[in-house]
Structures are given as structure tokens and as C-alpha cells.
Structure 1
């Protein structure tokens, strides 16, 4: 049993999924310091993200319920097509297309080449700097109701960058949102809403495959424990972040990303960390 390891990984997933620091990078790095010293793998990561996305569904349940109902009503013209909530439904659909296409086309890269710690460290630093620049110079005048379809598509391509561990789904989309002039809370909220279809689709697909192939180095029962922990911790993190962004900036996360990236590069150069790690089949 790897119960200690999955508890740690569940905590890490929940703590880092919604912060702009990359949960997949943290799972990849933390795995090297656990007793088994293995990469948890893309399958384990995708399944545990189901837990954190359940936290999004519950925290934003009123908003999501309104978007879904008014989107369906707009199809029969019972509400205007330009209704803000109905439009949000279309924006989420449009914004999901890039990551859906690239996720299928780049599967082998995602599972192998993209999991190099050299790459992870580099993108932690680069996208940390970009987040800092966008947050500092970005205007603060646009809210969710100002979101346009071109911006929705751009958000979608930003989200697709999160296929590379270290980029961070919330980090990439928030960076773009700040660069386009959206407020911190608006950028974060749309990032969370946009992630729901893609993460659930990926997680459920990997869960389906895992019944035959396993969930990486852990059993499905152990993965379920990590997913449950990620849900509970993730909910608390969302609540904290949405309150924090009303008055705080992304500077602490920028500093953390750069420091972590530099630390990983040093550990790789010293041979303390391997660039790649074998994922043991479940």
C-alpha cells in the first residue's frame, strides 16, 4: 500500500490546482521525494483533478447552474443569445476546443517528453515572469460580462499550454486575462469555469482506461483517496483565493514560481533529481 504517498499527493493536488503554480509540476516533483521515487504520471494526475473540479462545481454551483440553464433556454430563444450567462456557456464551449484538440494530438508528448523536469523548471520561471508582467501592467477595468468571443478563444489556447507541466492552467489563463485588462477575480473565475469541461473529460477518460491499464504506480483505490483529499483541500483553496484576489496581487506566486524553477535546475545540475522518472504501471 502507498497510503502515505497518496495522502501527500492528494494534498499537493488540492493545494496547487487553483493557484498559478502548476499542480502537475508539483505532483511530478514531489513524486521524486516520496519513498517510491516515481513520477505519479499523467493518468494519476488527470484522475485526481476530478476531485478539484468537483470543488469548482460546488463552490460556483449557482453560477454554473445559471449558465447551463440559460444556455439551454437560449437555444430555443426563450432568453436572448446575448444574455451574459447564455453567452458564458458558448464562451466555455469555444474555449474548450483548443485543449481538446491538442490534448488528443499531443498525447505521446504529454506522457513522455513534456514530463522532463528541465522543461518543467524552465516554464515555471518563464511563465512566472510573464504572470508578473501581466499582473503589474494589466488594466483592471474588465469583468466577466465584458468577455468577448475572440478573448474566449485566446483563453482556450492559453489553457492548452497547461498540457506542459509547469505552465499551470490557472496561471496561463490568468496571465492572459490580466494582459487583456480583466480584473484578477474575473480572470480567476473564468479560468475555473473554463477548466471544468476539459478536466472532467480528461479525468473520466483516464479513469475509464485505468480499469484496464491501471492508474500509474497506484491502485484505483489509492487514487480515489488522493482524489477525495484533493476535493476537500481544493474547495478551501478556491474560497481563500477568491477572497485574496479582491485585495492581493499575484506577486507571491510569481516569486514562488521563479524560486522553485531555479531550485529544480540546481538539483538537476547536481544530479539530485533525474530529468525523467519511470512511471510504474498500476
Structure 2
């Protein structure tokens, strides 16, 4: 009848967002067996002791913060190298160059807004309208800059992608004891495939770009994100991710592709919050969806973009390298800042910003400061 105490090593504090959910995973919703559980613990072991021991195992499997930082740095270096290579391949020696004023605003705006729950298309369109930029600079640069921003997101989320790729396949419907990493892999496959199919179906149905529509899209994104932030339970972690959650997040993100001004990343984020995920978990799922969906669309339109760029005047190789690396650096810094911010604050500032921007656009259109098309 003597209670047996289980020796447990001190659990280090979670320092990165990757292991912030480890204690929650250890409270009964683990996807892989840990060193201890209720049935294998010594007689007399309390439930709290088992949970602490399991949390220690989860944290140990996650690796040290230093190892994760080294992995992230290596991924960022590889992504930056691929970005440079893409810029060199994309550029043409026959291009005579374009004014720098037509190039750096596009890279700056793309890098800032790519991984935020705001509309990339809306900000690029407004930037061109206000600065009266030549759209040729954007049209030629956009595929390369998109790749740079996507590479930056991949560099930050490389550990998630690596674990998803290395996980056992499991059931595509995530039934039974399928690990979280395996569920994430099926989520990435679903997001990429569904995006290509949806793009083929809606490419001829998408509404033309109009600033009135963009203003409506900004307001809708703000309202949906605000409601999800307000009504979501914010209790679920990545360990509770299911196939149904993946389908809902993909559907929300794809629906936003149809209307200019809506943010696919913002819609996916709102869906994650509405499903009850914490802010960090919802943000990670939304960025993973945006990563695979954008990459699949880029690959689908690669031939058309390449053919257009070969027949159009574009920036010099030096300009291409500078602008693409600028977009990569800004995009990576934006992702890092966003995770730092979300660990401490809510998404309400983005809601307020989108509502204010929608109001400013409507006022500018009404007074004739900018034209609708």
C-alpha cells in the first residue's frame, strides 16, 4: 500500500512555439506512445506525475531549442540560396532594366503582406494606384517574388514540413491511431491538390479586379476574423488536429481565392480559430495551407509565367537579385514577428486595420482620389 514516487527529470520551459503545445499533448491526447502512461506506470503513481513525465518525453523528442534554431537557420540558408538561383534563372540578359521605383515597392509590399492575414492583392493594387507604378514591373517580377516569399515561409516552417514528410502515411481519413505529423501530411497533400483543382475550375469565373470589390473583401475578412477570434474556444492544440479540420480550413482558404480582396491566409486562420484551435495552432495551420496552396498554383502557372517573362521587358539580373532577396528577408522577418506577436496578443489589431483600410479605400473612391479600375 506504499505509494511509489516516479522520478521525473525537470521539464525545461518551452521557449519556442514548436513545443508550446507539449504539455497539452501530454494530457491525454497524444498521438504516439510516450515512456509512461496510466497502464504502465508503477502502482500508486498519480495522474499528475504521469502527465509531467509524458510532458518531459514530448519535450525531449522535440529536441533542444539550440538544435531547432540550427535547423531553422540551415533551412533559411537553403531557401535563400534557392531564391537566388530562381532569380538568376528567371532573369534575362536581354532585359534592359526598369526604374527602381517600379520594383522595390512591389517587393516591400509583397514581403510585408504575404504571411499576414491581409489581402496581398489588395495591397499591391493600392500601392500601384497610389504610387502610379508601371504594372509591367509587377507582372514580370511577381512570379519570382512569390517564390521568394514562399521560400521564406518554408524556411520558418521547415521543421513542421520535415516531420510531416517523415511521418508514416497512415489512413488518409486519419482514422485510428494516426499521428499528428501524418495528419499534417495528408492536410498538405489535400491543400495542394484541392488548390490546383479549384484554380482550374474558377480561373474563368473569377471576378475582375475592382477596388470596390477589394474594399468589400477587406471588410469581410476583418469581420470573419474578428468573429472567429471572439467566438472560438482557443483550447485545441495541434495534437487534436483531424481530417475534418483540414477539410474545413482548406475550404475556407480556397473560397477566398474567388473574390479579390479576400485573404486566403486570413480565411484559413479564421477557420482554425472557429474550430477552437489556439492562436498559435491556427496560425501554423493557416501558414502551412498557404505554403502548399501557393506553391501548387505557382507550379501550375509556371509555363505561362515563363513564356510571358521571356517576351516582356524586365529588370536586370542585379535588380532581380536585389528585389527578390529583399522580399525574402522581409517575408521571413514578418513570419518570425507574427509568431512572436501571436504568443502574446490577439488578432484584433489586424481586424481594426482591415476595417480602417476598407473605409479609407471607400472614401478615396468616393472622392475620386483613386479610380475603381
Partner Cα distance (2:267, 2:119) in 1:
10
Partner Cα distance (2:313, 2:346) in 1:
37
Partner Cα distance (1:169, 1:218) in 2:
31
Q: Once the two structures are superposed, what CA deviation does each residue of 1:85-109 show, in whole Å capped at 9, x if it has no partner?
A: 1121002212334322221122234
Residue number in structure 2 paired with 1:91: 187
| Residues 218 and 59 (structure 1), Cα distance of their counterparts in 2 relative to 1, 3 Å cut | farther
Aligned residues: 269
Matches within 5 A, 1:55-204: 55-71=152-168, 82-110=178-206, 113-163=207-257, 164-204=259-299
Matches within 5 A, 1:222-233: 225-233=322-330
Partner Cα distance (2:254, 2:304) in 1:
22
Look at both structures and tell me which one has the larger radius of gyration over its CA atoms.
2
Q: Structure 1-normalised TM-score?
A: 0.86
Task: Give the 3-state SS of the residue equivalent to 1:115 in structure 2.
Answer: coil
Partner Cα distance (1:152, 1:121) in 2:
29
Superposition deviation, residue 207 in structure 1:
4.0
Partner Cα distance (1:39, 1:126) in 2:
30
Structure number with greater CO (CA < 8 Å, separation at least 6) is 1
Residue number in structure 2 paired with 1:49: 146
Superposition deviation, residue 126 in structure 1:
1.6
Counterpart pick for 1:24 among 121, 126, 143:
121
Partner Cα distance (1:44, 1:165) in 2:
20
Answer with 248-257 or 211-220: which moved more.
Answer: 211-220
Q: Structure 2-normalised TM-score?
A: 0.66
Partner Cα distance (2:337, 2:119) in 1:
17
Residue number in structure 2 paired with 1:211: 306
Any gaps of 5 or more consecutive residues in structure 2?
Answer: 1-97
Residue number in structure 2 paired with 1:279: none
Answer with 43-52 or 94-103: which moved more.
Answer: 43-52
| Residues 134 and 216 (structure 1), Cα distance of their counterparts in 2 relative to 1, 3 Å cut | farther
Residue 13, structure 1, aligned to residue 110, structure 2: yes
Q: Note the aligned Cα RMSD (angstroms).
A: 2.6
| Residues 102 and 47 (structure 1), Cα distance of their counterparts in 2 relative to 1, 3 Å cut | farther
Q: Once the two structures are superposed, what CA deviation does each residue of 1:46-86 show, in whole Å capped at 9, x if it has no partner?
A: 542211110121112222111111146x59xxxx9702111
| Residues 147 and 49 (structure 1), Cα distance of their counterparts in 2 relative to 1, 3 Å cut | same
